[in-house]
Chain A
Amino acid sequence: DAGVIQSPRHEVTEMGQEVTLRCKPISGHNSLFWYRQTMMRGLELLIYFNNNVPIDDSGMPEDRFSAKMPNASFSTLKIQPSEPRDSAVYFCASSKVRERKQFFGPGTRLTVL
């Protein structure tokens, strides 16, 4: 069984550029979560979807961040324009709705210069 798949695994970009992170949840899972992990703030939930619908985006830091889930097998997290303080590891996780056991992907390490 493939786990949660994230791409790219590493991204280095310059301030002001657009960054798109991608996630493919586990087949059959209908909840998807985006997290950000930094040394200073730990693991923060940015947004989550149930059945492709955004349920809670209160963790999205500002308007530069946006997330979409056009279908059950794909989600994107976009940062435009990127800033150095966005440097972090971004994790995607999936679960079955109400099952509450989340499976994490390997993460995307983003560095904004």
Chain B
Amino acid sequence: AQSVSQHNHHVILSEAASLELGCNYSYGGTVNLFWYVQYPGQHLQLLLKYFSGDPLVKGIKGFEAEFIKSKFSFNLRKPSVQWSDTAEYFCAVNGGNTDKLIFGTGTRLQVFP
């Protein structure tokens, strides 16, 4: 069965600090990987996705993620966070012949000015 682990439950940073949120998945086959963001009171929006090709994926708002197959990881990074990045971030995996997305439990990011 597929599963996703996000070990950082709550991250607090100052503006301009660098960000890395961990995501590990468990699935033996080919996977598609996603990061979604949920701003306070809003719905989930897609930040970036990896299907195949270059394992370093760039998304919106300066975010990027790197797929490391040997580590079953897809960590999200941003070199310099802003107050407006305060949100909850969800990693998700899809694998096999299904359209289901399995989500991690989310990481709450708070950025202070």
A: residues with CB less than 8 A from B are: 31, 33, 42-45, 48, 50, 55-56, 91, 93, 95, 97-98, 100-107
Contacts and interface: CB of A to CB of B under 8 A. Distances in A.
Contacts of A100: 32, 51, 94, 99, 101
Contacts of A105: 43
Contact of B100 (A43, A45, A101, A107): A45
- Nearest first, the 10 closest Cβ-Cβ pairs linking A and B are A42-B105, A104-B44, A43-B103, A104-B43, A106-B43, A100-B94, A100-B32, A31-B99, A107-B43, A42-B106
Interface in B79-96: 90, 94
A56 B100 contact: yes
A45 B42 contact: no
A42 B103 contact: yes
A98 B99 contact: yes
26 contacts: A33-B100, A33-B101, A42-B103, A42-B104, A43-B90, A43-B103, A43-B106, A45-B101, A45-B102, A55-B99, A56-B100, A91-B44, A93-B44, A98-B99, A100-B51, A100-B99, A100-B101, A101-B34, A101-B46, A101-B49, A102-B46, A103-B46, A104-B44, A105-B43, A106-B43, A107-B43
Contacts of B44: 43, 91, 93, 104
Nearest to A41: B105
A15 to B, nearest CB: 26
B57 to A, nearest CB: 13
Contacts of B46: 101-103
A56 B43 contact: no
Contacts of B36: 104
Nearest to B32: A100
A43 B38 CA distance: 12
Nearest to B36: A104
B70 interface: no
A43 B90 CA distance: 9
